[in-house]
Amino acid sequence: MESIGRCITLLVLLGVLFTGHCEAQSPGSATGDARSLDTLLQDYAYRSLVHPRTGFVYDGTVPSNLTGIRIAAIRLRSGSLRKRGVDSYKEFGIPSDIVVQPYVKRLVLVYQNLGNWSSFYYPLPGYTYLTPVLGLLAYDATNLSATNLPKLDFAATNLPVSINFSNVVVPVPSGAIARCVWFGLNGSPDFRDSESGSMCTVFRQGHFSIVVNSSEIVLPPAPSEGPGLSLNPVVSRSNKSKLWKIIVSVIGGIALVLLALLTFVMLKYTRNKKVAKMEQHADAGVSLDTASVGNARVPVASGLRTQPILENELVA
Ligand SMILES: *[C@@H]1O[C@H](CO)[C@@H](O)[C@H](O)[C@H]1NC(C)=O
Ligand SMILES: *[C@@H]1O[C@H](CO)[C@@H](O)[C@H](O)[C@H]1NC(C)=O
Ligand SMILES: *[C@@H]1O[C@H](CO)[C@@H](O)[C@H](O)[C@H]1NC(C)=O
Ligand SMILES: *[C@@H]1O[C@H](CO)[C@@H](O)[C@H](O)[C@H]1NC(C)=O
Ligand SMILES: *[C@@H]1O[C@H](CO)[C@@H](O)[C@H](O)[C@H]1NC(C)=O
Give the model's pLDDT for residue 225. Answer: 42
CA of 276 to the centre of ligand 2 (A): 63
pLDDT score, position 276: 58
CB contact burial 19-32 (16+ within 10 A = b; e otherwise):
eeebeeeebeeeee
The strand pair at 199-202 and 153-156 is best described as: unpaired
For position 81, what pLDDT does the model report?
95
Q: Which atom of ligand 2 is nearest to the CA of 116?
A: 1
22: pLDDT strictly greater than 60: no
- Do you find a cis peptide bond into 221, omega within 30 degrees of 0? no
Check if the beta carbon of residue 202 is closer than 8 Å to that of residue 135. Answer: no
Q: What is the pLDDT of residues 76-95, one digit of tens each?
A: 999 999 999 999 999 999 99
Q: What's the pLDDT tens digit per position in 278-289? A: 555 545 544 444
More confident residue, 169 or 31: 169
**Three-state SS for 227?**
coil
pLDDT (0 to 100) of residue 175: 87
* CB of residue 67 inside a 6 A radius of ligand 2: yes
Nearest ligand to residue 214 Cα: 3
For ligand 4, the distance from its centroid to the CA atom of residue 147, given in whole angstroms, is 9
CA of 63 to the centre of ligand 1 (A): 7
Mean pLDDT of 136-144: 97
Q: What percent of the chain has pLDDT over 90?
A: 53
Please tell me the CATH code under which domain 27-216 is placed: 2.60.220
The pTM (predicted TM-score) of the whole model is: 0.67
15 Rama sector, left if φ>0, alpha if ψ -120 to 50, beta otherwise:
alpha
Indicate the domain borders of the chain. Answer: 27-216, 235-275
Q: What average pLDDT is seen over the chain? A: 76
For the cut 50, the answer to whether the pLDDT of residue 107 exceeds it is yes
pLDDT-based confidence at 231, cuts 50/70/90?
Answer: very low
**What backbone phi and psi angles, to 5 degrees, belong to 246?**
-70, -45
Alpha-helical segments (H) within 139-286? 235-283
Q: What is the pLDDT of residue 298?
A: 47
More confident residue, 194 or 294: 194
pLDDT tens per residue, range 166-220: 999 999 998 899 999 999 988 899 999 987 889 999 999 999 999 999 998 875 5
pLDDT, position 195:
76
Q: What's the whole-number mean pLDDT along residues 19-23?
A: 35
Identity of the amino acid at 134: L
- How many Å lie between the centroid of ligand 2 and the Cα of residue 167? 20
Asked whether 48 and 60 are in contact (CB, 8 A), the reply is yes
Distance CA 177, CA 172 (A): 8
Q: What is the DSSP string of 83-139?
A: HH-EEEETTEEE-S-EEEES--SEEEEEEEE-GGGHHHHS--TTEEESS--EEEEEE
Which residues line the pocket of ligand 5, CB cutoff 6 A?
164, 166-167, 199
Q: Which atom of ligand 2 is nearest to the CA of 120?
A: 13
Query: pLDDT tens digit string along 33-42?
Result: 899 999 999 9
Higher pLDDT, 79 or 247: 79
